[in-house]
Structure 1
């Protein structure tokens, strides 16, 4: 009977002791969004506790991130078309997708399209897949049309203009952009990147990378590509292109381009434009002998 009384007493003591342990209240996120049970479990590491003050990327959605301040958690979204750059927890920065690797968190918010802008912000291809060098830069749903320089096409992977063989866009390869095919090269000839004159434009020529991938390049104004010497020469020295600039440049203008005026040498002993140095207070200025 005494044993039973002792057991009851110990049980009551354990219950009373456990009830005295203080519980640390868990703060709820400020303005918490509606979340499913699966979402809460998946993002528990961030949404339930803050590792530290700062900004942290979502585990699955590239344009979602969290701000932690004094234990408070706020869920945020980048502007449509931008993604969160998580290079530093102390920086709140949304960036273009070309600059961020989103392969591990590929989900994005629902797009808000407008004219020529699949999303509100970013760089986007022309609607016509055969239009290789025109693309759009969108800000807040308003677009600006940009055209790549001749010989380059818009690269959807980098958001800039590049060579057709680098962009690898269907319908915009080198054969589609240039009306030129690299001739077969005899490997014993020793030219890794042979050059060929543009058949339609004296100022331009093609460089065939590794003998098979054409890239268009050009000479400066007043010059033409000499297919014999394989370099740029003044147009009047290339027989088949001697009159190429006729009607565009006068003989005097061509002469000025070929023979620019020689800059006059500065006269010796010319005064310096530098301001004289002020002597340091309390010290006498040194005089060169």
Structure 2
């Protein structure tokens, strides 16, 4: 009997603790799917997670200079033109967006190499910018240092605010051109600018015919040093 009473007391204690943690608030969680987050009605820096019975399960507050974005469902920097829907008016979602080649996940922006599109089931959820000095690389599905990504931007614009390299007279075309001094190196060019100088793998040199690294026996280096 004593054991039964002790067990019952433990159950009541546990229930009360849960009751104190959760609280019913239809003003916040009305018509919100259980498990989803919703921004506070008065404070943009706070978000609440809702339960099955319009109760608030937990709340979080964003760090300084950040607000909760309804579009991104995450804390973002204030005045982010693509995601801060508290202070600004970012682009709204686009259902069945043809730019969402990858139905769920990130896709490159078709015109701007510094941006990418976040998609969910074919719907464009948010248009986002990479951080300063970086560009979006579809190969990795992430933002990387501009110097490593610029050559892969193709026709997508690189903002003038992102420095790559100075203009180079050797870079008349986009792609790889021979290094004028070393046969073991080549120069990656983009929009008339030198992106980087790259060394071929051991045992190979750069061919000015195929514009790629080949076995050194098959390449005529001319005046370029081996």
Could you state the TM-score of these two structures normalised by the residue count of structure 2? 0.40
Could you state the TM-score of these two structures normalised by the residue count of structure 1? 0.33
Instruction: Pick the structure with more helix per residue.
Output: 1
Mark the structure with the bigger radius of gyration. 1
Instruction: Pick the structure with more strand per residue.
Output: 2
